[in-house]
Structure 1
Amino acid sequence: MVYDSSSFGVVALAAYRPDWDLFRIQLRSIQDQSHTDFVCLISADGGDQEIADFVKAELNDDSRFRVLGFPERLGFYGNFERVVQAVPPEAQWVALADQDDRWYPSKLETLIPKLNDAALVSGQARVVRNPGNEVVADSTARKNVPFGALVAQNQVTGSLCVFRRELLDLALPFPRLETITQVHDHWLAVCAAATGGAMVVEDVLQDYVQHGGNVLGEVEDHRGILSSWRHLESMSEKYHGSKSLLAMLRTSNDLSFGWRRTMMDCLKARVAINSSDVETGLAAFSSGHAWRPTLRVLWSGFRRGDIAAPCVLEFVAGAPAELFVNGFGARRR
């Protein structure tokens, strides 16, 4: 298959109680893409009528934009899964979209031809803060890293990427681990890197808008020790129903090893692995992993700048519970 200006695809947008001004800007930026052969599926999480009316009015009833309404709210992870499940088989590519960014006109035109070289391609974004449109960073500075480092720390932001339609045959259904680190773009990036390749390019192709309603943000979070502890307590109560030390240890593990283990176990069950790079990631993070490859991936990634220090510290915090998960036999290998 050749990916070019004639390639038909789907823009998959997940929406939930959008800021209407930002939503308007995002919709129009998608409508104004220089690559025009697409439909935009908008999954309205927990209801659709208000969003459908808004889209119809703002885009002059553009038939390429279709709102899918679901009465049950699933959250952003489930909502993205739901919208990509609706991608028709004739689509050649899928581009993910958030409800509050602004795409530059040439975004699709730039990324789609690069799918001839990789199953998933991700660009960069300028980071801006709303209100005020203050530029926080000129680029998200994502980078290409080895598979193990990608598993440890995601380099792909969903709203920046385009991927081949057939990647969904491997990625769906999404694996489940109820934690904030359960994210669709990390899983899609891992699936692509393990099969047809994941590639990050330097092109800045959109504004990534930061505001008070972001589920996950790009602006670095500089929590102190006390606020980090309270944040961990809050997540432990949310996901494990308790603020006990045991619950907090389990939460720390979920945030680090748990999500990576979930992805690696799912990947191993779905695809035949024939890459030494992928084998390294599996050896480091799948169930029953030995500690030597885990430490090697984390240390080499940190030393090269592929894994940031805060991410390494998350693994350190998750290690006590991981020792019990993988047992003494695994630790000795």
Structure 2
Amino acid sequence: MDNNQSVAVLLATYNGEKYLAEQLDSILKQKNINVHIIARDDGSTDKTVTMLHEYSKKYAHKITVISKKSNENGHLANFSALCEYALTTSFEYFCFADQDDVWHDNKLNLLLSRLIKAQGGSSVPLLVHSDMRVVDEALSLIDPSFVNYQGLPEPDKHDFPLFCHQNVVTGCATMFNRALLEVAAPLPQGLLVHDYWFALNAKVFGQLVYVNDSLIDYRQHGINSIGATEIKIQRSYARSYIYKMALRYLKLFPSYIYQCKLITQQQNYDLHANDYLNGFAELNKYNLFKRIRLIAVYFPNAKSLMMKIYFVILMIILPILVKCR
């Protein structure tokens, strides 16, 4: 499909001179798409900013470099500022981009085709996301599927209750419409990552669509802000969840609850739409018996004993451990 539509690519950079040119070139070479890059740097001390301005002079009609006007630093603050700027533009379709990947030349065309096909109307918040190839610094293949490499659970289903505490969407593999941008931006303070927030908003207020194609070479190297981690120890997805929980959830669990609570406080949220989301958002207020009841409602979704154990740990034991820290 030849879309010939305009897509704004929101590119966040920080000390990315080593791989930035490859990324910019791969975005500019997208087929059958009028692409415009909106780039923002987070205070680089290398040649990243110089490179951005050199590219913006060479491709003046395709690249806009916006200045940093805030003292806030970090991955989330950078993308948050890009989203706020995007709200002031006239673009209808948007993508997030990191500074060190390489996009396949059909990425935007394929994602936009799927987005337009799924879009019931311009007022429906919609996000499409794809798989990625995992590669090393030299772009040599590590794994043809990021989903399999990371042990992500069924990215095409986006089912609750797992979606409250398991992000299956990677920002650089997404495309979304203006309706979603207007719901999700500006980004609230205290989020984990921007892509998870956009995915949750799409899931609750619109539609989330998975494209089972690897459309990016997702580069792994020593200075990734956020990278991939191979999950080798699990024999099932349930074991993967428990492994992740032991390593990460104790730290991240309060943020998962906070993020879901923010969703339930959105202006257009229907309190009767999702009992599990409501319950998870208020989990800290529940006594033991209410938590057990919430788990019991979702036991039919558990595919194995390991999955049931996972929910018991998640809904009962973890909140106790977090409070005891």
TM-score (norm 1): 0.75
Q: CA deviation at 1:198?
A: 0.8
Q: Distance in 2 between matches of 1:57 and 1:31?
A: 14
Match of 1:79 in 2: 78
CA contact (8 A) 1:210 1:219 kept: no
- Give runs of aligned pairs for residues 73-222 of structure 1, distance below 5 A: 73-87=72-86, 88-116=88-116, 117=118, 119-130=126-137, 132-141=138-147, 142-177=155-190, 182-220=192-230
What amino acid does structure 1 have at the position aligned with 2:6?
F
Q: Distance in 1 between matches of 2:128 and 2:297?
A: 23
Q: Say which is worse superposed, 107-116 or 134-143, in terms of deviation.
A: 134-143
Identical amino acids, percent of aligned pairs: 23
CA contact (8 A) 2:56 2:65 kept: no
In structure 2, relative to structure 1, the CA distance for the partners of 1:109 and 1:195 (3 Å cut) is same
CA contact (8 A) 1:153 1:311 kept: no
In structure 2, relative to structure 1, the CA distance for the partners of 1:78 and 1:313 (3 Å cut) is farther
Secondary structure (helix, strand or coil) at the match of 2:164 reads: helix
Match of 2:150 in 1: none
In structure 2, relative to structure 1, the CA distance for the partners of 1:281 and 1:324 (3 Å cut) is farther
Secondary structure (helix, strand or coil) at the match of 2:58 reads: coil
Q: Distance in 1 between matches of 2:175 and 2:165?
A: 22
Runs of 5+ consecutive residues of structure 1 not aligned to the other structure: 233-250, 326-333
Match of 2:151 in 1: none
What amino acid does structure 2 have at the position aligned with 1:139?
S
Q: CA deviation at 1:106?
A: 0.6
Runs of 5+ consecutive residues of structure 2 not aligned to the other structure: 120-125, 148-154, 234-242
- Give runs of aligned pairs for residues 1-333 of structure 1, distance below 5 A: 5-18=3-16, 20-46=17-43, 50-57=47-54, 61-63=58-60, 64-70=62-68, 72-87=71-86, 88-116=88-116, 117=118, 119-130=126-137, 132-141=138-147, 142-177=155-190, 182-220=192-230, 253-256=250-253, 258-274=254-270, 278-287=274-283, 288=285, 290-292=290-292, 295=295, 303=303, 318-321=318-321
CA contact (8 A) 1:47 1:69 kept: no
Secondary structure (helix, strand or coil) at the match of 1:208 reads: strand
CA contact (8 A) 1:273 1:279 kept: no
Q: CA deviation at 1:286?
A: 3.5
In structure 2, relative to structure 1, the CA distance for the partners of 1:297 and 1:186 (3 Å cut) is farther
TM-score (norm 2): 0.77
CA contact (8 A) 2:292 2:316 kept: no
Secondary structure (helix, strand or coil) at the match of 2:66 reads: strand
CA contact (8 A) 1:26 1:100 kept: yes
Secondary structure (helix, strand or coil) at the match of 2:67 reads: strand
What amino acid does structure 2 have at the position aligned with 1:137?
D
Q: Say which is worse superposed, 151-160 or 313-322, in terms of deviation.
A: 313-322
CA contact (8 A) 1:149 1:297 kept: no
Q: Deviations over 1:78-136 (max 9, x none)?
A: 11111111113411111000000000001010001222315000011000111x43322
In structure 2, relative to structure 1, the CA distance for the partners of 1:55 and 1:298 (3 Å cut) is farther
Q: CA deviation at 1:26?
A: 0.5
What amino acid does structure 2 have at the position aligned with 1:80?
F
Q: Distance in 1 between matches of 2:232 and 2:186?
A: 34
Q: CA deviation at 1:314?
A: 7.2
Secondary structure (helix, strand or coil) at the match of 2:303 reads: helix
